[in-house]
Amino acid sequence: MNRNSTTAVPLVVDLDGTLVWTDTLLESALLLVRGRPLAIFLLVWWALHGKLRLKAELAARTTLDPQHLPWNQGLLEFLRHERDAGRQTVLATASRIEVADPIAAHLGLFDDVVGSSQTLNLKGPFKRDELVRRFGVGGFDYVGDSPADCPVWAASRVAHIAGHMKNLPRQALGPGTSEGRRFPATGSRGWQVPRTLRVHQWVKNVLVFLPAILNHHLNFEILFRLVVAFLAFSLVASAMYVFNDLFDLEADRRHPRKRFRPLAAGALSIPAGVALSLGALIGGFALALWLGTLFAVFLAGYGSMVLAYTASSSSANPFWTW
């Protein structure tokens, strides 16, 4: 392919899951709830009124810090190279324009920014229509990361892939579309689960075995119940670790070591983190209830103290403010 013809074609880049290893809408939601936990009820109310309403309300109430977002470094290098060669670069995202503009300004790598507005959620076919209106069918190259990008890829000249997708879906290859480069996420997603749960920390919970060992009163039934108690406590503790990671994303990303944690680095998505925390919590309490109500109450007290600490230390705003 002729290099001059390539630089004459705009390079359009998606934001969430492509340029950054996270979802800016979910980041904004966590940022709001972190400062004002009761606002979680507002999130539900806004979501019931549609995604446009949710995006608008979050954009009006939160400001993400672009400096510490988990960037796709390979794609950033490609963008710099293409822009240095004189190519027009465009950030096109379903995020609100108020969210996308500061990110583009921080990077200084884009000539134009296209984002969702009060009346239009710029995703899938709507993003395709806007880009075709600007550049024509086959008049741009596009970097995306999910099946929702298929209509955009199909209207592009070259379709580049980011994230965990191995190949372009068949419906993404339009008549004049060719497959381009891959900008993959690093690391195995499966390995991120035990890292996020801090399974290595479970060794601390072997103390539950200590009283029975010291009393020299240990049989199979007691041992079995102690193992169940160990697992219950470990799962609830892991759920609290994940919960804290979700609400400390910004702080962790500023830390020289904690920024490599799966959630902070974007190696594990926010929905996966929420599911992991809830799953561990439910599993832990199910085991605790099997052992007895008293042990479940003890675990509930432990979890409540951790939640109270997280809420009190996460923001200067009072817990009950909106």
Mean pLDDT of 61-67: 92
Pairing of strands 178-184, 141-144: unpaired
Give the pLDDT of residue 317. 44
Mean pLDDT over 187-196 rounds to 80
Please state the rounded mean pLDDT for residues 217-242: 87
206 against 113, higher pLDDT: 113
**pTM of the predicted model, to two decimals?**
0.86
Q: In terms of C-beta density within 10 A (0-12 exposed, 13-18 middle, 19 or more buried), how is residue 203 classed?
A: exposed
3 — pLDDT class (breaks 50, 70, 90): low
**pLDDT tens digits, one per residue of 86-138:** 999 999 999 999 999 999 999 999 999 999 998 999 999 999 999 999 999 99
- φ, ψ of residue 184 in degrees (nearest 5): -75, 155
Query: Which range, of 172-181, 184-193, 279-288, averages the lowest pLDDT?
Result: 184-193
Query: Is it the case that residue 314 has pLDDT exceeding 60?
Result: no
Predicted local distance difference test score (pLDDT) of residue 133: 96
Mean pLDDT of 190-218: 81
Q: Which pLDDT tens digit goes with each residue over 33-57?
A: 988 888 999 999 999 999 999 999 9
Percent of the chain with pLDDT over 70: 92
CA distance linking residue 11 with residue 78, whole number of Å:
10
Inter-residue contact 16 to 161 (CB < 8 Å): no
pLDDT(242) > 70 = yes
Percent of the chain with pLDDT over 90: 64
Higher pLDDT, 279 or 203: 279
**Angle between helices 220-247 and 189-197 in degrees, nearest 10:** 110
Does residue 205 carry a pLDDT above 60?
yes
CA 251 – CA 300 distance, rounded (Å): 27
Domains in the chain with CATH codes: 7-184 (3.40.50.1000), 189-313 (1.10.357.140)
Least confident span in 23-37, 99-113, 135-149, 217-231: 217-231
- 143 DSSP β-pair partners: 13, 160
Mean pLDDT of 190-209: 85
Residue 316 has pLDDT above 50, yes or no: no
Least confident residue range of 21-25, 104-108, 207-211, 308-312: 308-312
Specify the higher pLDDT residue, 305 or 317.
305
pLDDT of res. 188: 64
Residue 319 has pLDDT above 70, yes or no: no
- Written as one letter, the residue type at 36 is R
For residues 77 and 2, which has the higher predicted lDDT (pLDDT)? Answer: 77
> Residue 303: CB partners within 8 Å, gap ≥ 6?
236, 239, 240, 281
Q: Is the dihedral of CA 286, 289, 294, 297 positive or negative?
A: positive
Confidence of residue 171 (pLDDT cuts 50, 70, 90): confident
